[in-house]
């Protein structure tokens, strides 16, 4: 019988002018397509002048798109400089780049990246626009400052406990008015517990007698010294957080609105509710800045508030066209289950571990509505009764994320 042959088509080249970069602390290995004249792999330094030479070399070899791994923070100056020179950058998660056995050297890594990128097998990570990246950098730095300050609050508590001064046990927060007034008086030399108790704020639930009893202890010099330094460091970080808030407010002021109002169009937002200001909230009106920028009041979404709203906004940006549907958006956030299917049968369905900061913020918002009387709160409690708190957290976060997606994409009201 005559045999029939089938033609197997080769994998098409999607990006014929693609290049690959392997970035380190001191050296950068670059690879251009193999059909270009001269050497196709070249090593560059990491100084700014070296990066300019790298960009010139790419332009000379007619490169228009470059793939690189997100290695630490070393990729950031390379990404920004090449992007400013007009090249299209694709930032790739190193976990997604699987090397064939034996291919593990800097030269081979950049060559492998170039080949995969030319074949269109790499997916670039999402990165918001320049203004949002700057806002994101400010907010991440502010979060680090708040975290560092929290460690010195623990040092204050430790020093007080070692002197058997039980102030943390009788006040809800030692960094509140009653707690800090008492601690500063101790540092200033006051040892009379009755006088220290007189710094009690009228809203404090503990009585002066209870506070005076708790502030009777041993006054060891070494622990007083540790307490003094902890308070000084706490004050220093508080000043840095305030300076960071000023810079963030200034950055909001120079950002242009991301929406174009019509004559009959006004930003939709709920009336401001009077509520107690939280300790770590910025000093300026974050909510008004978000409304001016986006045209919608994200802080009015149950569970978010101004702080979480600006965190999420800085991570996802305002252009929802990056995700065609809300399903793609929630999958990127790590809030949608991954279904492993074989033979038309779902083998496993679970959400994968994710370090997506926006997804973590939505999970935090879901936890915040657990006891609220809102629709999100009722949904959370219903899902918790079905499958437990972890399942309910992801389900409620998924619903809140879809709400934010529609608000930013269609600027609908709440």
Model pLDDT, residue 315: 92
Domains of the chain, by residue range, sit at 18-118, 132-253, 287-410
pLDDT(277) > 80: no
pLDDT(350) > 90: no
Give 401's pLDDT tier (boundaries 50, 70, 90): very high
pLDDT(1) > 80: no
pLDDT(109) > 60: yes
402 or 258: which carries more pLDDT confidence? 402
pLDDT digits over 216-248, tens only? 888 899 999 999 999 999 999 999 999 999 999
The DSSP output letter for 10 is P
Measured at the CA of 257, the angle between CA 252 and CA 261, to 5 degrees, comes to 150
pLDDT digits over 188-208, tens only? 988 888 898 888 888 888 888
How much is the pTM? 0.84
Instruction: Give just the sign of the alpha carbon dihedral 380, 385, 391, 395.
Output: negative
Reported as half-sphere exposure (CB side, CA atoms, 13 A), residue 63 has a value of: 32
pLDDT(364) > 60: yes
Rounded-to-integer distance, Cα 225 and Cα 190, Å = 14
Please give the full DSSP string across 237-256, using - where no structure is assigned.
HHHHHHHHHHHHHHHHHHSP
Task: Quickly count: other Cβ atoms within 10 Å of residue 312's Cβ.
Answer: 27
Say if strands 345-350 and 338-342 run parallel, antiparallel, or are unpaired: antiparallel
Give 141's pLDDT tier (boundaries 50, 70, 90): very high
Name the strand (E) or helix (H) holding 155.
helix 130-162
Name the strand (E) or helix (H) holding 393.
helix 389-410
pLDDT(413) > 60: no
pLDDT(100) > 60: no
Mean pLDDT score, 66-94: 88
First to last CA, the chain: 71
Rg (the chain; Cα; Å): 28
Residue with tokens 């979060």: 143
Residue with tokens 């999100």: 376
Please give the full DSSP string across 17-69, using - where no structure is assigned.
TEEEEEE-SS-EEEE--TTSSS-SEEEE-SSHHHHHHHHHHHHHTT--EEEEE
Model pLDDT, residue 150: 94
To the nearest 10°, report the CA torsion of 367, 372, 375, 380: 40
Give 98's pLDDT tier (boundaries 50, 70, 90): low
pLDDT(7) > 70: no
Mean pLDDT score, 90-98: 77
**Domain 18-118, what architecture?**
2-Layer Sandwich (3.30)
pLDDT(157) > 60: yes
- Mean model confidence pLDDT for the chain: 86
Task: Quickly count: other Cβ atoms within 10 Å of residue 224's Cβ.
Answer: 15
Rounded-to-integer distance, Cα 207 and Cα 209, Å = 5
Of 97-111, 125-139, 272-286, 379-393, which gets the smallest average pLDDT?
A: 97-111
Model pLDDT, residue 186: 92
pLDDT(170) > 70: yes
Model pLDDT, residue 5: 57
Q: Provide, rounded to the nearest whole percent, the portion of the chain with pLDDT above 90.
A: 40
Instruction: Give the contacts of 359 (CB within 8 A, at least 6 positions apart).
Output: 333, 334, 335, 397, 401
Structure tokens, 193: 């517990």
Task: Quickly count: other Cβ atoms within 10 Å of residue 66's Cβ.
Answer: 29
pLDDT digits over 298-349, tens only? 988 998 888 999 999 999 988 888 888 999 999 999 888 777 777 777 777 7
Instruction: Give the contacts of 313 (CB within 8 A, at least 6 positions apart).
Output: 132, 135, 290, 293, 294, 298
276 or 257: which carries more pLDDT confidence? 257
Model pLDDT, residue 190: 87
Reported as half-sphere exposure (CB side, CA atoms, 13 A), residue 188 has a value of: 10
Structure tokens, 357: 């900061």
Model pLDDT, residue 393: 92
């Amino acid at each position: 019988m005559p045999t029939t042959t089938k033609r197997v088509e080769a994998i098409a080249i999607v990006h014929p002018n693609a290049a690959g970069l392997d970035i380190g602390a001191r050296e950068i290995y670059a690879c251009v397509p193999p059909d270009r004249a001269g050497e196709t792999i070249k090593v560059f330094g990491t100084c700014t002048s070296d990066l300019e030479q790298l960009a010139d070399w790419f332009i000379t070899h007619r490169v228009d798109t470059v793939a690189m791994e997100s290695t630490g923070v070393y990729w950031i100056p390379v990404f920004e400089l090449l992007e400013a020179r007009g090249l299209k950058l694709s930032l790739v998660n190193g976990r997604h780049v699987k090397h064939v056995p034996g291919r593990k050297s800097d030269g081979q890594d950049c060559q492998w990246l170039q080949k995969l990128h030319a074949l269109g097998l790499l997916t670039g990570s999402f990165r918001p626009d320049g203004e949002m990246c700057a806002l994101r950098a400010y907010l991440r730095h502010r979060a680090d400052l708040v975290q560092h300050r929290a460690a010195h609050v623990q040092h204050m508590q430790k020093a007080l406990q070692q002197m058997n001064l039980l102030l943390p046990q009788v006040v809800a927060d030692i960094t509140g008015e009653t707690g800090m007034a008492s601690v500063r008086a101790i540092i200033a030399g006051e040892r009379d517990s009755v006088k220290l108790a007189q710094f009690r704020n009228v809203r404090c639930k503990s009585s002066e007698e209870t506070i005076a009893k708790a502030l009777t202890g041993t006054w060891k010099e070494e622990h007083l010294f540790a307490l003094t330094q902890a308070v000084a460091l706490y004050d220093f970080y508080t000043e840095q957080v305030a300076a960071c808030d000023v810079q963030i407010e200034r950055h909001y002021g120079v950002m242009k609105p991301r929406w174009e109002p019509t004559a009959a169009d006004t930003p939709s937002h709920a009336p401001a509710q009077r509520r107690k200001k939280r300790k770590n909230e910025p000093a300026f009106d974050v909510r008004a800045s978000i409304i001016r920028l986006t045209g919608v009041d994200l802080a009015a979404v149950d569970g978010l508030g101004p702080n979480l709203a600006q965190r999420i906004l800085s991570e996802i940006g305002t252009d929802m066209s990056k995700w065609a549907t809300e399903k793609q958006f929630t999958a990127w956030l790590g809030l949608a289950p991954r279904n492993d299917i074989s033979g038309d049968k779902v083998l496993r369905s679970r959400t994968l571990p994710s370090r997506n900061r926006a997804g973590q913020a939505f999970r935090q918002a879901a936890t915040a509505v657990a006891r609220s009387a809102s629709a999100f709160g009722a949904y959370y409690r219903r899902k918790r009764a079905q499958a437990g708190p972890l399942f309910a957290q992801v389900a409620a976060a998924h619903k809140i994320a879809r709400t934010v997606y529609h608000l930013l994409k269609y600027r609908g009201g709440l």
